Amino acid sequence: MLANYHTHTIRCNHARGSEREYIENAIKEGFTVLGFSDHTPQTYPEGFNSWIRMALSEIPEYTSTLLTLKEEYKGRIDILIGYEVEYSRRFFPSLIEKLREYPLDFLIQGQHFAINEVDGFYVGGPVDSEEDLISYVNTTIEGMETGLFTYLAHPDLVNYTGPDDIYCKHMRRIVEKSLELDIPLEVNMYGFSDGRWYPCDRFFRMASEMSPKFVLGCDAHDPFMVRQPEHAPGLTEFLEKYGIDCGDNLVTLKDPHAPWKLA
Ligand SMILES: [Zn+2]
Ligand SMILES: [Zn+2]
């Protein structure tokens, strides 16, 4: 694994360590590319506070900190500036407008909410209704269709508790969309090591049979989490079980200027 594109910073209020510590650990672990992708701020209504993401006012400092480190570490490791973005029909256009004012290398999609964080619901729920599962799938696919995301983080974040046939019937559409648009799907190393409900067997059993592109994401919320899959106990076996081969984990970044193209 040469690249990791899923790295947080303390600005999201639930990660720890300095950017430098993440970078130093990435070098120690043999990475040649480290993409920072903190939880994007959002253009939510005044008075609505989301505590799991940086504030809009932190964008300039986030960007300048990473630009400085990018320069300093040149030749040793490529530092990329990105965000993990919550797509929503209501807030995405104004968010993109905001983000495009600053240098940006890539965006990954991380869909923690269906519809959006203000009007919708957290998909880690658990979610027991088919209607809510469909809502997650629809929001996710709509985000993928913007064409602005390098990959889809934890595609199986939705914690649907219903039967496999209903789960697969709807989740299959995400895999089909990933194939159609050539958007890799992430195996989330944080969820795995933390014993969360994702990455989940029923998703990767189905997805691996359809053969989309897969990518590994450390989803590092702590510098030590920027690590090789063999340093995450059990992960290699999980990947082997489903025949998931991420190669060197380098992905083609979408045109970094793509955000400018959104009208
Ligand atoms: Zn997080
Ligand atoms: Zn993340």
Q: Report the alpha-carbon distance of residue 202 to residue 216 in Å, rounded.
A: 18
| Helices assigned H by DSSP within the chain | 19-28, 59-72, 92-99, 130-144, 164-181, 189-193, 201-210, 235-241, 258-261
Q: pTM of the entire structure?
A: 0.96
In the chain, the percentage of residues whose pLDDT exceeds 70 is 97
SS3 36: strand
CATH of 3-261, one of 2.60.120.860, 3.90.580.10, 3.20.20.140, 2.30.130.10: 3.20.20.140
| Sequence spans of domains, the chain | 3-261
> Mind giving me the DSSP string for 188-205?
EHHHHHTT-S-S-HHHHH
Centroid of ligand 2 to alpha carbon of 190 (angstroms) = 8
Centroid of ligand 1 to alpha carbon of 172 (angstroms) = 25
**Average pLDDT value over all residues in the chain:** 95
Centroid of ligand 1 to alpha carbon of 116 (angstroms) = 16
Centroid of ligand 1 to alpha carbon of 18 (angstroms) = 15
What is the pLDDT, as a whole number, of residue 256? 58
pLDDT level of residue 254 (50, 70, 90 thresholds):
confident
Query: Dihedral sign, CA of 42, 48, 50, 56?
Result: positive
Centroid of ligand 2 to alpha carbon of 158 (angstroms) = 14
Ligand nearest to the CA of 10: 1
SS3 120: coil
**How does strand 121-122 pair with strand 113-114?**
antiparallel
Centroid of ligand 1 to alpha carbon of 8 (angstroms) = 7
Q: Which residue has the tokens 């990959």?
A: 151
Each residue's pLDDT tens digit, 50-83:
989 999 999 999 999 999 999 999 999 999 999 9
Each residue's pLDDT tens digit, 83-135:
999 999 999 999 999 998 999 999 999 999 999 999 999 999 999 999 999 99
Each residue's pLDDT tens digit, 134-174:
999 999 999 999 999 999 999 999 999 999 999 999 999 99
Centroid of ligand 1 to alpha carbon of 251 (angstroms) = 21
Centroid of ligand 1 to alpha carbon of 123 (angstroms) = 14
